[in-house]
Structure 1
Amino acid sequence: MSAKESLGYYGQKKHKPWFDEGCSKSLDQRNQAKLQWLQDPSELNGDNLNNIRRETSRHFRNKKREYLKDKIDELAMNSKNTNIRDLYGGINDFKRGYQPSSNLVKDENCHLLADSHNILNRWRIHFSQLLNVHRVSDVRQIEIHTAEPLVPHPNKRYKSPGSDQIPAELIQAGGEILRSKIHKLITSIWHKEKLPDQWKESIIIPVHKKGDKTDCSNYRGISLLSTSYKIVSNILLSRLSPYIDEITNELYPLNC
């Protein structure tokens, strides 16, 4: 059984988490009362609509107050238990509030693009210009022993998966059976000397920094790679790291 069938996906956060089934029923009653008043704008139907509107608004306010109280209690509990991640996440949610999302971007001539095909093509051009830069660099100027690793540590959690949609937590919890499967996959790749096509794909997520949200230059791109590929990369890095300084010193000895 696949992870999708056994575990499913995380649900998206709702814009109004406090909006429950009771709120939905109150909203339906208000809409029904308004429809009845539009069909027969009598004084009786008008009074009924106003009363239901007041009751619906009161019900919404009470639900929102209950939700905010629960969130404040949750923040206090996270602070008491030193659950820093959830504490700061909740505080940031309060600070940001609701922010409507927009996919509109500007082209090279500052004209807004609304068509999805043109928007995707604009992002493709933007990141191609950033990533596909042809330049010659002197290898001797690179400080290999102090360079930051390009792949996050495999034990880090809460990382977005790549095109395989497999989070690192799933592999960590897979046990010996899953590790054996991954080992067979890596062994097969090593003998065939060919990576799976999916490992060559990278999903680029634009993250807004500041400024105009329709300007592509105000975003930084985050590349999401396959989790299995990152495991192999970390294995190779750990195997090669002890030899890097030795090989570098032989190729480019320091002048004494």
Structure 2
Amino acid sequence: MRCEARIFRNKKREYLKGKIAVLETNNKEKKIRDLYRSISNFKKGYQPQTNLVKDDNGYFLADSIKIVNRWKNFFSELLNVHETGDIRQIKMHTAELLVPEPSLGEVELAIRKLKSYKSPGIDQIPAELIKASGKGLHMRIHKLIQLIWDK
């Protein structure tokens, strides 16, 4: 009995050393997702998985072949609708029809709300330059937004 206990202890030590080695390599190689996933799995411990599915009568199926057949029948019934009476015509309304195009006042308000002293975007135009521009540029920006809105 003592010999078996020692064998189990040694096996457990080897297992833990292997787990620690995997964690160390993930940490050194900057594989943070794998590192945290391994830690999480180690903390949870062994959790058995059950693959059970209910059949049409409410009984649980455990046999993999019966489970596959159940899923096959389920999707066959779901996707192959032969009766047209079940399908209803539904009118879809999109939000695009309800939202009016932006007005010049809204564009000017958005330009005034631009934050100052921020680094410019891809276009390399600072917000201060757009804010300091006159009504002419605001109208051109508005026309550009209208063109984009229509297309």
The verdict on a shared fold, with TM-score over 0.5 as the criterion, is no
TM-score interval, normalised by the smaller of the two chains: 0.3 to 0.5
Q: TM-score, normalised by structure 2?
A: 0.43
Q: TM-score, normalised by structure 1?
A: 0.28
Higher RCO (CA < 8 A, seq sep 6+): 1
